[in-house]
Structure 1
Amino acid sequence: MYHIAVAFDVPTEHHDKFITAALQDGRDSAANEPGTLRFELIKDPERPERFYLNEAYADEAAFDAHCAGPYFAAFFAVIEPIAEGPTWLVRGTTIED
Protein backbone atom coordinates (compact mmCIF):
# COMPACT_ATOMS: atom_id res chain seq x y z
CA MET A 1 0.00 0.00 0.00
CA TYR A 2 1.25 3.49 -0.86
CA HIS A 3 0.71 6.28 1.69
CA ILE A 4 0.98 10.03 1.59
CA ALA A 5 0.43 12.67 4.23
CA VAL A 6 0.64 16.36 3.48
CA ALA A 7 -0.01 19.60 5.35
CA PHE A 8 -1.70 22.78 4.18
CA ASP A 9 -1.95 26.12 5.97
CA VAL A 10 -5.22 27.89 5.27
CA PRO A 11 -6.29 31.32 6.56
CA THR A 12 -9.40 31.16 8.73
CA GLU A 13 -11.56 33.02 6.23
CA HIS A 14 -10.95 30.25 3.66
CA HIS A 15 -11.49 27.20 5.88
CA ASP A 16 -14.97 26.40 4.55
CA LYS A 17 -13.84 26.61 0.93
CA PHE A 18 -10.79 24.42 1.60
CA ILE A 19 -12.78 21.82 3.56
CA THR A 20 -15.47 21.62 0.88
CA ALA A 21 -12.88 21.15 -1.89
CA ALA A 22 -10.87 18.54 0.05
CA LEU A 23 -13.92 16.48 1.02
CA GLN A 24 -15.22 16.59 -2.56
CA ASP A 25 -11.84 15.40 -3.85
CA GLY A 26 -11.91 12.56 -1.34
CA ARG A 27 -15.49 11.49 -2.15
CA ASP A 28 -14.95 11.59 -5.91
CA SER A 29 -11.60 9.82 -5.73
CA ALA A 30 -12.90 7.03 -3.47
CA ALA A 31 -15.96 6.51 -5.68
CA ASN A 32 -14.25 6.63 -9.08
CA GLU A 33 -10.59 5.72 -8.67
CA PRO A 34 -10.29 2.00 -7.80
CA GLY A 35 -6.77 2.48 -6.38
CA THR A 36 -7.83 5.11 -3.82
CA LEU A 37 -8.19 3.29 -0.50
CA ARG A 38 -8.29 6.10 2.08
CA PHE A 39 -8.68 9.86 1.93
CA GLU A 40 -8.87 11.67 5.27
CA LEU A 41 -8.95 15.38 6.09
CA ILE A 42 -7.59 16.21 9.55
CA LYS A 43 -7.60 19.59 11.33
CA ASP A 44 -4.71 20.27 13.70
CA PRO A 45 -6.06 21.04 17.20
CA GLU A 46 -3.05 23.18 18.14
CA ARG A 47 -2.61 25.13 14.90
CA PRO A 48 -6.03 26.33 13.73
CA GLU A 49 -4.78 27.19 10.23
CA ARG A 50 -3.24 23.71 9.64
CA PHE A 51 -4.96 20.87 7.81
CA TYR A 52 -3.58 17.44 6.89
CA LEU A 53 -4.51 15.02 4.15
CA ASN A 54 -3.82 11.40 5.00
CA GLU A 55 -4.27 9.18 1.95
CA ALA A 56 -3.65 5.55 1.00
CA TYR A 57 -3.54 3.98 -2.45
CA ALA A 58 -3.21 0.44 -3.74
CA ASP A 59 0.27 1.31 -5.02
CA GLU A 60 2.33 4.24 -6.26
CA ALA A 61 0.81 3.90 -9.76
CA ALA A 62 -2.66 4.45 -8.25
CA PHE A 63 -1.39 7.61 -6.55
CA ASP A 64 0.12 8.80 -9.84
CA ALA A 65 -3.24 8.15 -11.55
CA HIS A 66 -4.98 10.20 -8.85
CA CYS A 67 -2.52 13.07 -9.39
CA ALA A 68 -3.22 12.99 -13.14
CA GLY A 69 -6.98 12.83 -12.66
CA PRO A 70 -9.77 15.40 -12.71
CA TYR A 71 -10.51 15.40 -8.96
CA PHE A 72 -6.93 16.28 -8.03
CA ALA A 73 -6.94 19.06 -10.65
CA ALA A 74 -10.27 20.43 -9.42
CA PHE A 75 -9.07 20.44 -5.81
CA PHE A 76 -5.92 22.38 -6.64
CA ALA A 77 -7.80 24.82 -8.87
CA VAL A 78 -9.85 25.80 -5.81
CA ILE A 79 -7.15 25.78 -3.14
CA GLU A 80 -4.09 27.22 -4.90
CA PRO A 81 -5.10 30.84 -4.32
CA ILE A 82 -6.16 30.26 -0.70
CA ALA A 83 -3.80 27.67 0.82
CA GLU A 84 -0.08 27.27 1.39
CA GLY A 85 1.16 23.78 0.65
CA PRO A 86 1.29 20.92 0.25
CA THR A 87 4.16 20.27 2.60
CA TRP A 88 5.14 16.59 2.38
CA LEU A 89 5.13 14.75 5.69
CA VAL A 90 4.99 11.11 4.57
CA ARG A 91 5.33 9.45 1.19
CA GLY A 92 6.08 5.78 0.79
CA THR A 93 5.11 2.14 0.63
CA THR A 94 4.05 0.05 3.60
CA ILE A 95 6.62 -2.52 4.68
CA GLU A 96 4.90 -5.57 6.05
CA ASP A 97 6.21 -8.51 8.03
Structure 2
Amino acid sequence: MYHVAVAFDVQPEHHEEFIAASHADARDSAVDEPFTQRFELVVDENDPNRFYLDEVYDDAASFDKHMAGPHFARFFERIGHIAEGPTWLIRGTRIIDPTST
Protein backbone atom coordinates (compact mmCIF):
# COMPACT_ATOMS: atom_id res chain seq x y z
CA MET A 1 0.00 0.00 0.00
CA TYR A 2 1.18 3.49 -0.86
CA HIS A 3 0.54 6.22 1.72
CA VAL A 4 0.31 9.96 1.20
CA ALA A 5 -0.24 12.60 3.86
CA VAL A 6 -0.30 16.33 3.17
CA ALA A 7 -1.07 19.46 5.16
CA PHE A 8 -2.96 22.57 4.10
CA ASP A 9 -3.41 25.83 5.98
CA VAL A 10 -6.83 27.39 5.51
CA GLN A 11 -8.15 30.63 6.99
CA PRO A 12 -11.33 30.33 9.11
CA GLU A 13 -13.59 32.00 6.56
CA HIS A 14 -12.71 29.27 4.04
CA HIS A 15 -12.96 26.17 6.27
CA GLU A 16 -16.35 25.04 4.99
CA GLU A 17 -15.33 25.50 1.36
CA PHE A 18 -12.13 23.50 1.90
CA ILE A 19 -13.97 20.75 3.78
CA ALA A 20 -16.59 20.49 1.01
CA ALA A 21 -13.89 20.26 -1.68
CA SER A 22 -11.99 17.61 0.29
CA HIS A 23 -15.07 15.51 0.90
CA ALA A 24 -16.07 15.73 -2.77
CA ASP A 25 -12.58 14.60 -3.82
CA ALA A 26 -12.73 11.71 -1.35
CA ARG A 27 -16.21 10.59 -2.43
CA ASP A 28 -15.54 10.87 -6.15
CA SER A 29 -12.18 9.10 -5.86
CA ALA A 30 -13.76 6.23 -3.90
CA VAL A 31 -16.41 5.78 -6.59
CA ASP A 32 -14.27 6.15 -9.71
CA GLU A 33 -10.84 4.92 -8.61
CA PRO A 34 -10.82 1.31 -7.38
CA PHE A 35 -7.12 1.74 -6.57
CA THR A 36 -7.91 4.42 -3.97
CA GLN A 37 -8.16 2.57 -0.66
CA ARG A 38 -8.60 5.41 1.83
CA PHE A 39 -9.03 9.17 1.67
CA GLU A 40 -9.57 10.96 4.98
CA LEU A 41 -9.69 14.59 6.08
CA VAL A 42 -8.30 15.45 9.53
CA VAL A 43 -8.21 18.81 11.31
CA ASP A 44 -5.24 19.48 13.60
CA GLU A 45 -6.15 19.36 17.29
CA ASN A 46 -3.91 22.35 18.13
CA ASP A 47 -4.37 24.48 15.00
CA PRO A 48 -7.93 24.60 13.65
CA ASN A 49 -6.64 26.22 10.44
CA ARG A 50 -4.46 23.23 9.53
CA PHE A 51 -6.03 20.31 7.70
CA TYR A 52 -4.45 17.01 6.69
CA LEU A 53 -5.35 14.64 3.90
CA ASP A 54 -4.48 11.04 4.73
CA GLU A 55 -4.67 8.89 1.62
CA VAL A 56 -3.86 5.27 0.77
CA TYR A 57 -3.52 3.78 -2.71
CA ASP A 58 -2.70 0.32 -4.04
CA ASP A 59 0.79 1.46 -5.06
CA ALA A 60 2.76 4.52 -6.24
CA ALA A 61 1.47 4.10 -9.79
CA SER A 62 -2.09 4.30 -8.45
CA PHE A 63 -1.32 7.61 -6.79
CA ASP A 64 0.11 8.84 -10.10
CA LYS A 65 -3.18 7.84 -11.77
CA HIS A 66 -5.11 9.76 -9.09
CA MET A 67 -2.96 12.87 -9.66
CA ALA A 68 -3.58 12.65 -13.42
CA GLY A 69 -7.33 12.24 -12.96
CA PRO A 70 -10.19 14.72 -12.95
CA HIS A 71 -10.90 14.65 -9.20
CA PHE A 72 -7.37 15.75 -8.28
CA ALA A 73 -7.53 18.61 -10.80
CA ARG A 74 -11.00 19.68 -9.64
CA PHE A 75 -9.90 19.67 -5.99
CA PHE A 76 -7.02 22.04 -6.71
CA GLU A 77 -9.25 24.27 -8.84
CA ARG A 78 -11.60 24.58 -5.87
CA ILE A 79 -8.96 25.16 -3.16
CA GLY A 80 -6.18 26.94 -5.05
CA HIS A 81 -7.27 30.40 -3.93
CA ILE A 82 -8.19 29.48 -0.32
CA ALA A 83 -5.47 27.13 0.94
CA GLU A 84 -1.72 27.19 1.40
CA GLY A 85 -0.13 23.89 0.56
CA PRO A 86 0.19 21.06 0.11
CA THR A 87 3.04 20.47 2.47
CA TRP A 88 4.13 16.87 1.99
CA LEU A 89 4.33 14.92 5.23
CA ILE A 90 4.42 11.31 4.04
CA ARG A 91 4.89 9.76 0.68
CA GLY A 92 5.88 6.12 0.69
CA THR A 93 5.11 2.44 0.75
CA ARG A 94 3.93 0.70 3.90
CA ILE A 95 6.21 -2.01 5.21
CA ILE A 96 4.10 -4.88 6.52
CA ASP A 97 5.38 -7.17 9.28
CA PRO A 98 5.28 -10.63 7.68
CA THR A 99 4.91 -12.29 11.09
CA SER A 100 1.73 -10.44 12.05
CA THR A 101 -1.69 -11.76 11.24
Structure 1 letter corresponding to 2:34: P
DSSP 3-state at the match of 2:30: helix
Structure 1 letter corresponding to 2:10: V
Indicate the RMSD between aligned Cα atoms, in angstroms: 0.5
Structure 2 equivalent of residue 16 of structure 1: 16
Structure 1 equivalent of residue 75 of structure 2: 75
Shift in Å at residue 48 of structure 1?
1.1
Structure 1 letter corresponding to 2:2: Y
Structure 1 letter corresponding to 2:20: T
Alignment of 1:26 with 2:26, yes or no, is yes
For residues 43-82 of structure 1, the C-alpha deviation after alignment (integer angstroms, 9 at most, x for no partner) is 0111010000000000011100000000000000010100
Structure 1 equivalent of residue 45 of structure 2: 45
TM-score, structure 2 as length reference: 0.94
DSSP 3-state at the match of 2:13: helix
Distance of 2:95 and 2:14 partners within structure 1? 37
Question: How many residues of Structure 1 are paired with residues of Structure 2 in the alignment?
Answer: 97
Structure 1 letter corresponding to 2:69: G
Aligned identity (percent) is 63
Which is greater in Rg? 2
Distance of 2:87 and 2:45 partners within structure 1? 18
Distance of 2:45 and 2:94 partners within structure 1? 27
